[in-house]
Amino acid sequence: MMRIKTGVIGLDPLLGGGFISNTVNVILGSTGVGKTIFALQYIIEGLKNREKCLYISFDMDVDDIVKTAENMGWDIKSYIDDGLLKVGKFIVEDITFLNNELMNFIKENDNNSRIVIDSFTPLLSTLDYDVRKDVNWFFEQLKRVGTAVITIEEPLSGNLDVPSITLPSFLCDCLIHMKKLGYGEVLDRTLRIVKHRKSWHAEGVFPYRIFKGLGIVVDSKHYVEQTMKRMTIQDIFSEEELKSIPAELLEKIKIALENRSYCDEDVKHLMRWVVECYRESTKS
């Protein structure tokens, strides 16, 4: 499966190498968490490699987006000028859901594009009828044209149980939840990969920070180092113990340990417990 690098430092290893190509990936987060910066990093990663990119927005015009990038120390204007990056501003009030103008803008790019919709929320919050079908159809169209990143605004109330959040969350391929706690210090900003269809992904909550120039940097160092190490059966059991474990069980334990996310002390403890349970169950 082809992987698409996110451009966000420290994130790809947590996704198993990046996004999967031709998917819709949702970045959910409250105001100010860095969704637009994420979207820009994703686009710039593609532009660097001369990939075609589309940036669709409902509240920012080209100038706003160029200035937001400039504030981070990034120049996207030259890519707009040479046509590699297309920016479209649509007025939600003017369009019926996913109208032709928007679809044509997307379809002008045949394949392998990087698409950003920042944000998708205005499109959904103006609707009062069941749009699951339409959203699903729209996502299918996006996947044909490339790999999309869609940002979704988390309400300040924290209530995620509204259609504008649940619909895209259920229908997307990958969901990343970004949070800002407002306590300051190292754990102030964190992200979590809620799901990644057809791929392994890291479990847990990862701190991130935003730097001018670098953008979002995810602190996954400890996790990556831990998971790169593979625990062997010899790390858990002594020679003597190994001799007493039935071959059939030993084989299953080996398979379990091959999974790279299991190499901590808890797993040592659990594997010893597995052997104890096995013995207990085969006693009589």
Ligand X SMILES: Nc1ncnc2c1ncn2[C@@H]1O[C@H](COP(=O)(O)OP(=O)(O)OP(=O)(O)O)[C@@H](O)[C@H]1O
Decide: is 25 part of the binding site for Mg ion (CB under 5 A): no
Q: Which is nearer to ligand X, 31 or 232 (CB)?
A: 31
Sign of the Cα torsion 91, 93, 95, 96 reads positive
Pairing of strands 53-57, 113-117: parallel
Q: Which does 137 bind (CB under 5 to 8 A by kind): Mg ion, ligand X, none?
A: none
Helices (H) and strands (E) in the chain, counts: 12, 11
In angstroms, what is the minimal distance from the CB of 38 to ligand X? 7
In angstroms, what is the minimal distance from the CB of 202 to Mg ion? 25
In angstroms, what is the minimal distance from the CB of 8 to Mg ion? 15
Rounded to whole angstroms, the Cα distance separating 196 from 207 reads 19
Q: Which of 208, 212, 175 is CA-nearest to residue 190?
A: 208
Rounded to whole angstroms, the Cα distance separating 56 from 43 reads 11
Task: Give CA separation, 144 vs 17, 108, 154, in Å.
Answer: 21, 12, 27
In angstroms, what is the minimal distance from the CB of 211 to ligand X? 6
Q: Which does 34 bind (CB under 5 to 8 A by kind): ligand X, Mg ion, none?
A: ligand X
Q: Which residues here bind ligand X, judged by CB under 6 A?
A: 29, 31-37, 71-72, 210-212
Q: Which is nearer to ligand X, 31 or 226 (CB)?
A: 31
CB atoms within 10 A of CB 165: 20
Q: Which is nearer to ligand X, 65 or 236 (CB)?
A: 65
Q: Which does 215 bind (CB under 5 to 8 A by kind): Mg ion, ligand X, none?
A: none
In angstroms, what is the minimal distance from the CB of 31 to ligand X? 3
